[in-house]
Chains A and B, each alone.
Chain A
Amino acid sequence: MKNRINKKAILNYLGYQNQVLSDDFLAEMDEAIDTVLAAAKPNNIWKSMLRSELNLVLIGEDINAHLGNAEQVILMAATLGQEVDFILRRSQRLDMKQAVILDASASVIIETYLDQQEDFLRQEFLKQGKYLSTRFSPGYGDLPLSVQENFLKILDTNRKIGVTVLNNGLMSPMKSITCIMAILDEPISKVTDPCSICRLKGDCVLRRRGGYCGRFRQ
């Protein structure tokens, strides 16, 4: 996975705006990536389901627009595991600089892991002549985080991959992602513009700087 990790994305999480980077810093970033990869036990689970079975999850206009006319959807959850939480917590007691770099690296690594799984699924479904939409997660647009509980229950993530929902829809381990993809008969023509449905549009620091949080794949 290491060569797929997008270092620019890690820098984005850290608020990077083309500042000069020292060799020391780049080495530190590499070390952080290695540390997270060593601690991570990436795991995922997915299920293809009838859209009509998922009334408790597919809430709001944005997800339904995203899914288009699909009848089948994929629910998926992925995590880096609890050890990553442990090293993040621990680093915050010793060195906040290292902590923020580890945290940003872990955020990008879980996305990268999910990208890999997504690609795999895309290939698998292509064999059956099916196409997948891009990923859409609870918390995007008007899809509330409160669906997380039902989402995780359907996938039995607690037992299968050790992911639990906390109060308020947060997940533990922290570096976990849930997402929804449509299974379509034809390749998708339009991709949801990630920023157009974001709550922070109009007030996004990253956008003002000409950046982007990287929540969707481009």
Chain B
Amino acid sequence: MGNFTKNKFKNLLDKDFVILDGASGTEFQKRGLKPGEAPELLNFSRPDWVIDTHKAYLSSGSDIILTNTFGASYHKLKSSDLTPEQVIPQAIKLAKKAVAEYQADVKQQEPDSTELDDSLSENKKSQIEPLVAFDCGPLGALIEPNGSMSFEQAYQDFAGQINLAKESDADLIMFETMSDLYELKIALLAAKENSDLPIICSMSFEANGRTFSGTDIASYVTLAQSLGADVIGLNCSTGPKQLLPLIKEILQFSKAPVLLKPNAGLPDPQTGLYNLPIDEFVESMREAATLGVKFLGGCCGTNSEYIKALNDDISDLKFQRPEIKQDPMVCSSTKAVQIGTQPLFVGEQLNPTGKKILKQALSDKNYEAYQKMAILQEIAGADILDVNCGLPGIDEAAAMAEVVKKIQAVSRLPLQIDSNKPDVLEVGLRLANGRSIINSMNGKAESMAEVIPLAKKYGSMVIVLPLDEQGIPKTAEQRIVVLEKIIKQCEKEGLPKENLIADCLVLTAAAEPTGGIECLRTIRLVKEKLGILTIIGLSNISFGLPARRQLNQVFYAEALANGLDLAILNPEHEEIVATRAGHMALFGQDPNQTNYLAYVEEKGDIISGYQKTTKTSTAATETEKTATEAVVVPAPAEAQSLEQVIIKGLENEAAQLAKQALQTEMNPLDIIQDQIIPALDEVGRLYQEGITFLPQLLQSSKAAQSALNPIRKAIEAQAQTADSVHNELKSAKEIPASKPIIVLATVEGDIHDIGKNIVKTVLENYDYTIRDLGNDVPPARILEAVKAENVKLVGLSALMTSTLPAMEATIKLLNPEQPDCKIMVGGAVLTEDYAKSIGADYYCQNANSSVEVAKEVFRNET
């Protein structure tokens, strides 16, 4: 069946233009469907209307008709008495019946039509058997993080629909009116993994060039193409004229044939009716066809008359489309990055090697540190984020899954999935919302056998290392030989070489005197001889040498001069950013030095330290202080105590005073106990009494945080020293271990996180260990977390009246199982009485009440 269908579809591609149908809703309404009524029900209640509608389109010239299943998802049908198992086969049956009846009709009329003029009968002959596309709209539920449907659930739902369509012999699949790129990705994976039917995919874009979820054209095309969509296009949203600029953009990027299926203009707001006249619709569609759009149809407001007029109008046109040439792209759901056009930064920081905080995150399965770091890398100027979750003793694939999901909830950058384990790579490539880079594959037979299939399946780009069973070649020429072998193997297996990025191998200069020059020569030779993209992992060059950052900077400049495309590095190092900006300004990659001037305007002269801006940005305060930033931190105007500056919320002063206190050899713990805690207590009192309000409370929290950072570092250092000399230094060793644990969660069904996050910020300052389970947390998950560490205090948050039952359910589950675990609750709609009535131990009226509760609970504990 598969091959037969593929052939039918291929035959269709031989036509100049492929005509789809128009709206079914408009046709059904003509026949009596009431607004708000689900059209899918008509498959059973009025099959005659469905067949008539299909036939109306077939006789208007549609080559492909869509089944009446736009809303036949598991989620959308939940509110009806029907299931996809009923609707999809029935709808396909009706469409097939319509095709059969239409073909019988045509045959009957044929004797007459032989008399007609040549061109028309030619047209009839060339009419290939119309195809039935299973029409698949969005699921109707939003996928995490915008909604609560998981990737896995969405996949299951699409796969279920696809299998039903396949079993009922649909000729192809059409995903349409998609606005979430992640949903489209899942749909495409489900279609590819469960059938070999041809796929048309179509998203709905607003006139501003984005979908409702923020996807732009380049990202859409990059993703759809990498996952092998057979046709890529636009439908719904506005009229054809408004979509022309967007369709031009698609034509620029898409190697696949392009589709346009727009509405009949914009609806009248009062009546909801579409009223673009047929001739205007056809005029714009003709223009689209002239530009190179091959698949044409109509969406909301169009009917068979529009399609007939369209079909008649373009019958004289020949299909023509200029060949496209584009540098390869990777993308997230909202940002596409072209590779090879200008030097790019791959942020290296999301890697636990040498980073305690990420190791901790991986072993605690709490990935907030990854999120934070991703945001900081993005703010610093990363174009792509390298993601690595390698830590001995953990389930790396499970960690990669969570980390990818968490990072893309807060970052817009495309990802580079970094692992030497194929299962980890696959999880990352699958869950990444976009097209990613694989880091990495080498010339060993085993590596190629594992990675090439993944790169093909997910359409990913791949970093290839010029090393194989013989080890790492020393010279550039030898590396080219290995790379040639890899390219040959990839091309043999159908992985085109433009998807490959050669790692030009930076060896440590201190150990390998020719390492630097051979790397630079490799970059140059790869560009000249192989014509593929290049990348290096920068910092390796300076390993073992002092003042590494200036060495890295020198090497980066040399590598750029030799034609480097990408570098894996830390863009928080300002001198690197400056080097790139300077390189582009000096070597013709920055016309009129516009970007360089803007860079200097923003960052100043990083050598002299001159800076225009006086305010340190959020990003700067979060990162480790660089030399430049240290210059601009003003000294406290007058002598103030640490306690005072925390109360006033002065971050820089708090950090400085904490460092000063540490230098006086005060015990770090005493600084916390004697200065920071009293300050926070006072901050809390001022807030409770209404002398300050929420932003001021949180400002003081920030100040306390910046004082605590150096102190915590000092405590860690002490603990390490204590360990190494086997010293029974109790204070340093035991305190971190005995920090009381508090579990926080926003209850199931509620995605409003802000209240819980405020509480967390305040509690963290008091040095409690917070296990933040996030939002929309099922009761069982909370119970599990409480049991796992015998937690004595849980904080639950709910923002809406409709999620209060979930809060009650959580308490009902926790109380009998963990009777000595106290529960505090808070949230905008809660009252003290209600909190008591659902069995909570404490009601927290505001951000600071949780501190009082925690103090009480843990006082009772000891």
Contact = CB atoms under 8 A, between A and B. Distances in A.
Contacts of B803: 168, 170
A17 B411 CA distance: 35
Interface stretch (A40-48, A63-71, A184-192): A40-48
A184 to B, nearest CB: 17
A170 B806 CA distance: 14
B120 interface: no
A194 interface: no
Contacts of B412: 86
Interface in A72-96: 81-83, 85-86, 88-90, 92-96
A158 B140 contact: yes
Given A94-B618, A145-B802, A100 B372 contact: no
Interface stretch (B336-344, B663-671, B690-698): B690-698
A98 interface: yes
B241 interface: no
Interface residues of B, number: 67
B622 A94 contact: yes
Interface string A144-184: 11100100011000110110101111101110000000000
A126 interface: no
Contacts of B375: 90, 93-94
Nearest to A146: B802
Given A93-B375, A145-B801, A83 B698 contact: no
Contact of A170 (B79, B800, B832): B800
Nearest to B622: A94
Interface string B343-381: 000000000000000000000000010011001100000
Contacts of A212: none
Interface stretch (B437-445, B508-516, B754-762, B810-818): B754-762
A154 B35 CA distance: 8
Interface string B659-696: 00000000000000000000000000000001111111
Contacts of B618: 94-95, 98
A97 B702 contact: yes
B212 A162 contact: yes
B638 interface: no
Contacts of B750: 168, 170
A151 to B, nearest CB: 11
Contacts, number: 143
B701 to A, nearest CB: 7
Contact of B693 (A16, A154, A205): A16
Contacts of B371: 93
Nearest to A161: B212
B691 A19 contact: yes
Q: Which of A25, A88, A93 has the most CB of B within 10 A?
A: A93
A15 B694 contact: yes
B466 interface: no
A82 B696 CA distance: 28
A17 B846 CA distance: 14
B148 A203 contact: no
Interface string B222-245: 000000000000001000000000
Contacts of A149: 79
B604 interface: no
A127 to B, nearest CB: 12
B800 A82 contact: no
Nearest to B35: A154
Contacts of A101: 695
B141 A164 contact: yes
A199 interface: yes
Contact of A96 (B368, B411, B690, B698): B698
A153 B36 CA distance: 7
Interface string A127-143: 00000000000010000
A46 B131 CA distance: 37
A27 B702 CA distance: 18
A172 B147 contact: yes
Contacts of A168: 749-750, 800, 802-803, 806
16 contacts: A15-B694, A41-B210, A90-B411, A93-B368, A97-B695, A97-B702, A99-B757, A139-B800, A139-B801, A154-B35, A161-B212, A166-B148, A169-B800, A172-B147, A174-B751, A203-B833
Interface of A: 14-17, 19, 25, 28, 41, 45-48, 81-83, 85-86, 88-90, 92-101, 103, 139, 144-146, 149, 153-154, 158-159, 161-162, 164, 166-170, 172-174, 199-200, 203, 205, 209
Interface of B: 35-36, 79, 138, 140-142, 145-148, 177, 179, 204, 206, 208, 210-214, 236, 269-270, 272, 368, 371-372, 375-376, 409-412, 618, 622, 690-696, 698-699, 701-702, 749-754, 757-758, 761, 800-803, 806, 829, 831-833, 845-846
Given A19-B696, A82-B146, A101-B695, 9 more contacts: A19-B691, A95-B618, A96-B701, A139-B801, A145-B802, A158-B138, A164-B141, A166-B751, A168-B750
> 6 tightest A-B contacts by CB?
A162-B212, A97-B698, A168-B802, A203-B831, A96-B761, A168-B749
